[in-house]
Amino acid sequence: MTHRTNPFIPLYAFCNSGNSKHKLKNPAAFPYIIDIELTNLCNFRCLMCPTGNHSQQRPQGFMPEEVFHRILDNIRGRKLGLRFIRWGEPLMHPKVIEFLTAAKADGHLVHLNTNGSYLTEEMADKLLDLPIDSLKFSVQGVDRDSYREMRNVDFFDKLLETAAMLHEKRGLRELPFLQISTTVTYESKELQDAFLERVSHLCDATNIGATNFDWLDLNAIRLKPSEVELLKSLMQQDSVLRVHPECPEVFDKLSINWNGKVTACCMDSNDLMVVGDVACQSIEEIWNSDRLKEFRVLLADMRHDDMELCKHCWDTHNLFVPSPEVP
């Protein structure tokens, strides 16, 4: 069996070296990683997601070619990690393969997160031929029922079939590094372990995190009344331990919206931490902007509670796992 390592590990090692106080004193000259939102449109209506539940307030669209190429022009000559993730389904973008090809041709590491619904055999062949460096399937819950409840669609079995198809097609090829990741709410440790057992042979790495509802604005969501009730009841059962992490974003990464606006945090679905716009500024300028520096100063001091988005940012790998009930 081929043992693969995640090609992003050297970049993550840079990002994880030193705490935020150290990073404030020794700032990176340029981001190591850029998260690019090809679109904030999605074919799913996941209850826990601001795109899926329509609570996101900003305009929706697909990243225009000129915005994407402006980003590449700005970072040419560097080898960065480009992660095609954030608030939408990246494989819905009609130019996704062209964009990934251009990013690879410039020498960047390329990662994609997907709900798997657009990953046909034809798409799989294209991703394997490139190849992209890493791909993560996002699940939710631990089985068909818990997935369907939160993701609002009966797609768990098909998703695992799709993951198996890509894994099988990859065969002995080195890339892409394949991950299956889920977020949980109330699911027991036993069910989480059973899920890991079930999917671990379909990928190279698995991950379980907590679903974070604290970012959601319940007054803004647009769902059917029965879906709102379900969401509210799931929110009562969350497993997030409310501990702020050292900020994994502002010292090492930038995130770019589909329309070219740049934000300090990949989780910023509502433009609360916008620091620039690639339409009129270079990425270097944005990286060195006063607004981003202010965020770094606050976050090096762990003053998450002073900022609207950061006050809801938790270490979602720190799970509260309910104990089995005593008979």
Kindly list the residues in this chain that would bind ligand SAM in the complex (CB under 6 A).
Answer: 42, 48-49, 85, 87, 89, 113-115, 138, 140, 183, 211-213
3-state secondary structure at position 256: strand
User: What is the C-alpha to C-alpha distance for residues 157 and 144, in angstroms, rounded to an integer?
Assistant: 7
Residue 276: exposure state from Cβ atoms within 10 A (0-12, 13-18, ≥19): buried
Q: Using CB distances below 5 to 8 A depending on partner kind, what does residue 39 bind out of ligand SF4, ligand SAM, none?
A: none
Compare residues 35 and 296 and give the one whose CB is closer to ligand SAM. 35
H helix intervals, 130-155:
144-151
DSSP 19: -
CB of 20 to ligand SF4, least distance (A): 28
DSSP 236: T
Q: Is the Cβ–Cβ distance between 96 and 304 less than 8 Å?
A: no
Compare residues 56 and 239 and give the one whose CB is closer to ligand SF4. 56
Q: Contact residues for ligand SF4 (CB under 6 A)? A: 42, 44, 46, 49, 51-52, 87-89, 115
Please report the sign of the dihedral spanned by the C-alpha atoms of residue 217, residue 312, residue 46, residue 9. Answer: positive
Which residues have C-beta within 8 Å of that of residue 257, sequence separation ≥ 6? 37, 40, 58, 86, 263, 271
CB of 114 to ligand SF4, least distance (A): 8
Of 61, 210, 82, which Cα lies nearest the Cα of 150? 210
Q: Using CB distances below 5 to 8 A depending on partner kind, what does residue 211 bind out of ligand SAM, ligand SF4, none?
A: ligand SAM
Q: Using CB distances below 5 to 8 A depending on partner kind, what does residue 212 bind out of ligand SF4, ligand SAM, none?
A: ligand SAM
CB of 215 to ligand SF4, least distance (A): 12
State the residue number with the nearest CB to ligand SF4.
Answer: 52
Q: Using CB distances below 5 to 8 A depending on partner kind, what does residue 114 bind out of ligand SF4, ligand SAM, none?
A: ligand SAM
CB of 84 to ligand SF4, least distance (A): 12
CB of 52 to ligand SF4, least distance (A): 3
